[in-house]
Amino acid sequence: MFILYKEKIYIHSFIDLNMKKVVIALVLILVLSNCLQQPQQQQKEIIIYGSGATFPQPQIEKWISEYGKINRNIKIEYAGKGSGAGLNDFKEGLVDFACTDPPVSEKMWRELEKKGQILQFPIIIGAVVVIHNVPEVDGLKLDGKTLAEIFMGKIEYWDDEKIKALNPNKKLPHERIIVVYRSDSSGTTEVFTAYLSLSSEEFKKDVGIGKLVDWPVAKVGRGIGGKGNPGVAAAVKNTPYSIGYVELAFALKENFKTIALKNKDGKFVNANAETISSAIKATSVFVPEATEGYKEDLFAFINAPGEKSYPIVSFSHVVIWQSYPKDKSEAIKSFFKWVLTDGQKHVIEGYVAVPEEVAKVGLRALEKVKGT
């Protein structure tokens, strides 16, 4: 009896000991699980809103995608609606940043300053290209003056003598030229009209430079307005014998025929990474500090010298405030710092990374951004 009693005691003790181990193990698992989950639960998603130029939109979308892989708690949303609309959104406080191709004008800069201190700096370089939908012709060439006359409505047919003189070996059709232009307030239009104004005094006088201009072709019934680069691209694609202007990345995406333009050195060149880079290297570009961004020259890269230089090259810029709520300020600094450093390694076809000295202007600007 005594031995059996001792065995019972031993058995009960053994069961109690193992139960305690199981309970302790379960408690530890629960504690560890809670510790692992707790940081994720505490991570707050921060959303940054931007709008503006469609010129850099494909590149910005690429950056957003790549940045999201390494910073899952920061979400960037961008609406491409034109430089003018983006700056208006920014002024009204509807977005946290705006993108514009030409630098902000001094007039707009002063209006924005009434709302707070602003910063502007370039983030990417691109090119405006002339696309066409003439089914039977490839490899077209034009100079700036002839292109200006087309967009003024003075040249009506594709087989006009001035176009034939530049394309002597092409069989040009006797078809009316339909001109497609931006209907919205557009930085791409401002860059394009700056080029046409440099090429033609008549265009400069009668049409001028601007984000939104009165196109003479609209008055003679041979013009079509398209909203954004995508709208112009769609209109040209769906309209035989049309001509239009878009950012290079859109032309490449839709596999458009592009027109080789005569550059300052008298050479006909198409836009690509080499010819854009040539224009950049051939010019001594002055990029002011971000606190005085309106002082930047719109004509910096337009009609740059050099045999390989493409004549319609432009920065695209971002405009931000110097002050945001703390979480948002850190997120904006993080995203645009990445854009100007590692992000420049993710440049898609149709764009060229900003030079290191230009990137430094933006990086210095970001140091001024403070949280409130």
User: Residues 249, 113: one domain?
Assistant: no
User: Residues 96, 236: one domain?
Assistant: no
Q: Per the domain annotation, does 66 fall within a domain?
A: yes
Contact 231/181 with Cβ under 8 angstroms? no
Contact 229/250 with Cβ under 8 angstroms? yes
| b/e 149-178 (16+ beta carbons within 10 angstroms → b) | bbbbbbbeebebeebeebbeebebeebebb
- CA distances (Å), origin 190, targets 57, 105, 181, 212, 335: 17, 11, 12, 7, 28
Q: What is the pLDDT of residue 42?
A: 53
User: Residues 117, 227: one domain?
Assistant: no
Spatial separation of the C-alpha atoms in residues 274 and 295, rounded to whole Å: 28
User: Residues 135, 114: one domain?
Assistant: no
Spatial separation of the C-alpha atoms in residues 352 and 346, rounded to whole Å: 10
User: Residues 79, 137: one domain?
Assistant: no
Spatial separation of the C-alpha atoms in residues 303 and 313, rounded to whole Å: 8
User: In one letter, which amino acid is 34?
Assistant: N
- CA distances (Å), origin 255, targets 233, 250, 264, 281: 10, 8, 27, 28
Q: Per the domain annotation, does 300 fall within a domain?
A: no
Q: What is the pLDDT of residue 300?
A: 87
User: Residues 101, 10: one domain?
Assistant: no
User: Residues 164, 218: one domain?
Assistant: yes
Q: Per the domain annotation, does 149 fall within a domain?
A: yes
Low pLDDT (below 50) residues in the chain: 1-15, 17, 22-23, 25-28, 31-32, 35-41
70: helix, strand or coil: helix
User: Residues 352, 225: one domain?
Assistant: no
User: Residues 137, 255: one domain?
Assistant: yes
Determine which helix (DSSP H) or strand (DSSP E) holds 20, and give its type and residue range: helix 2-42
| Burial of residue 214 (number of CB atoms within 10 Å: 0-12, 13-18, 19+) | exposed
Contact 217/153 with Cβ under 8 angstroms? yes
User: Residues 79, 101: one domain?
Assistant: yes
User: Residues 192, 256: one domain?
Assistant: yes
pTM of the model: 0.85
The 8 Å CB, 24+ separation contacts for 86-92 are 86/50, 86/51, 86/52, 86/53, 87/52, 87/112, 87/319, 89/51, 89/52, 90/51, 90/52, 90/319, 91/115
- Range of 200's domain? 128-280
- CA distances (Å), origin 34, targets 26, 28, 45, 72, 277: 12, 10, 20, 21, 54
User: Residues 180, 111: one domain?
Assistant: no
Q: What is the pLDDT of residue 38?
A: 46
Q: What is the pLDDT of residue 43?
A: 64
Spatial separation of the C-alpha atoms in residues 289 and 23, rounded to whole Å: 65
Which CATH number covers residue 187?
3.40.190.10
**Number of independent structural domains in the chain:** 3
* SS3 track for 289-316: CHHHHHHCCCCCCCCCCCCCCCCCEEEE
